Amino acid sequence: MSRLVVQHPRLAPAAVERFSREIGRGPDRRSRRRADWNEVSMSNATLTHLSDLCGVDAEIVPMHDRLENYRMIAFDMDSTLITIECIDEIADYVGRKAEVAAITQAAMRGEIADYDESLRRRVALLAGLSASTLQQVYDERVRLSPGARTLIDACRGAGLKVVLVSGGFTFFTDRLHARLGFDYSRSNTLEIIDARLTGRVVGEIVNAEGKRRFVEQVCERIGCTPAQSVVVGDGANDLRMMAIAGISVAYHAKPIVHTETKHAVNHCGLDSILAFFDGTRFGWDD
C-alpha cells in the first residue's frame, strides 16, 4: 500500500477535509502544513484533480521508502536550487533581460530543439560585459530556494552525496558548491578575456545529455545505480537525468516536466521533498 502526503505552507482545514471525504477518514497525522494518510489507494487522475482543486501539493508515495535507501541527490541550479535564472539577471546589466529571458523560458519549456544553440545565442548577447558583473549578480540577486539548506542537510545526514548539475555557469556553481558543501558539481564556463565576457562558452556545453551523463558518472564513482538517486529540476533540459533517477521531482516546474516526473512540488519549498520519505520528521514540529 501507499501513503498520501498533502502539503502547503498554510494547509487549509478545508483542503484536509476534502481529501478526507475522498478517502473516507481523517488523516493519520496532521500539522500546520502537512497531512498524511497511511494505506491509501488513489488514481493519478483523482490525485491531480484534488490537488488542483484545493491548491496544494499532494503525492502518493510508498509506505516505507526511506531517505537512507538512496545514495545521491542531484539538483539543477537555476529556478531550482536558487530562485533566479542567472543568465537572465546578467543580461539585465546590458539591457537585454527580456530578450534573453524569452529564449530561456522557451528552452525550459522544451520549445527549442537545439539547447546548445539557444545558450550560445544568449551568451553572445553578453559580449563586452565586465566580469565584475557576475559577482554583482551573485551578491545582489542569487537567493536559495526556500528549504534548500534543510533538504541538503537532511540528505547529507542520511548519507547521500549532494550534487549540483547545471546548464548555468561555473562562476555561480563554484560558489554554491563551496557555500553549501556539495560533493560534486558540473556546469558551463563563460569565457573571460581582459576582465570582460567574450560572449562565448568554453568547452562542451552541459545540456540535457550532459546532465544525464554527469549523474551516471557520479553514480559510478560512488558505487550506486541511478535508481538509487533523487533528481530535482524544473526545465526540459533536466528530463534526461530525471528519467534515469529512482525518484524525480519537478520543482515549481514547466508543464512538460510535470508530465514526465514521479513527484511534483508546486506550492512548498524544497524541504517538503523530505515528506516523501518514511522516518523524516519534516512538517511535524510546527
From residue 108, give the alpha-carbon distance in Å to each of 175, 222, 261: 24, 30, 15
82 has which bridge partners? 144
Q: Nearest-CA neighbor of 60 among 229, 224, 214, 264?
A: 264
User: How far apart are alpha carbons 11 and 209 in whole angstroms?
Assistant: 38
Tell me the CA end-to-end span of the chain in Å, nearest whole number.
27
Phi and psi torsions of 198, nearest 5°: -85, -15
User: How far apart are alpha carbons 8 and 11 in whole angstroms?
Assistant: 5
User: How far apart are alpha carbons 105 and 283 in whole angstroms?
Assistant: 32
Torsion of CA 32, 34, 35, 37, to 10 degrees: -160
Active-site residue set: 76, 78
Element counts in the chain: helices (H) and strands (E): 11, 11
